[in-house]
Amino acid sequence: MKITDLKTTHIYFPHLSSIKDATIRHPTLGRGQSFVSILTDEGLEGLGLGAGGRAADLLINDSLKPLLIGADPLFTEKLWDDMFWRLRGVGRKGLAFAAISAVDIALWDLKAKYFDVPLYRLLGTYTDTVPIYGSGGWTHFSVDELVAEQVGYAERGMKSVKMKVGKDFGKSEKEDIERLAAVRAAVGDEIEILIDANNGYYAKQAIRMARAFEPYRVGWFEEPVLADDIDGLAAVAAAIDIPVATGEHEYSKFGFRELIARGGADIVQPDIGRVGGVTEWIKVANMAHAFNLPVAPHAFQVVHLHVACATPNLRIVEYLGVSEEYDKLVYTEFPEPADGMWSPDSAKPGLGLELNPDVVKKYGS
Cβ–Cβ under 8 Å, residues 252 and 228: no
> Is the sign of the CA dihedral 78, 79, 84, 85 positive or negative?
positive
Mean pLDDT of 30-42: 96
Q: Spell out the domain ranges in the chain.
A: 3-116+356-363, 122-342
Over residues 164-188, the pLDDT tens digits come to 999 999 999 999 999 999 999 999 9
Residue 122: which pLDDT band, with cuts at 50, 70 and 90? very high
pLDDT greater than 90 at residue 27: no
Residue 20: which pLDDT band, with cuts at 50, 70 and 90? very high
Residue 59: which pLDDT band, with cuts at 50, 70 and 90? very high
Cβ–Cβ under 8 Å, residues 146 and 183: yes
What is the pLDDT, as a whole number, of residue 90? 86
The average confidence (pLDDT) of the chain is: 97
Cβ–Cβ under 8 Å, residues 204 and 232: no
- Catalytic choice (113, 298, 306, 348): 298
- Catalytic choice (111, 113, 162, 164): 164
Mean pLDDT of 250-265: 97
pLDDT greater than 80 at residue 28: no
> Is the sign of the CA dihedral 224, 225, 229, 233 positive or negative?
negative
In the annotation, is 164 catalytic?
A: yes
CATH superfamily of domain region 3-116+356-363: Enolase-like, N-terminal domain (3.30.390.10)
SS3 64: helix
The model carries a pTM of: 0.97
Cβ–Cβ under 8 Å, residues 284 and 268: yes
Q: What percent of the chain has pLDDT over 70?
A: 100
CATH topology of domain 122-342: TIM Barrel (3.20.20)
In the annotation, is 298 catalytic?
A: yes
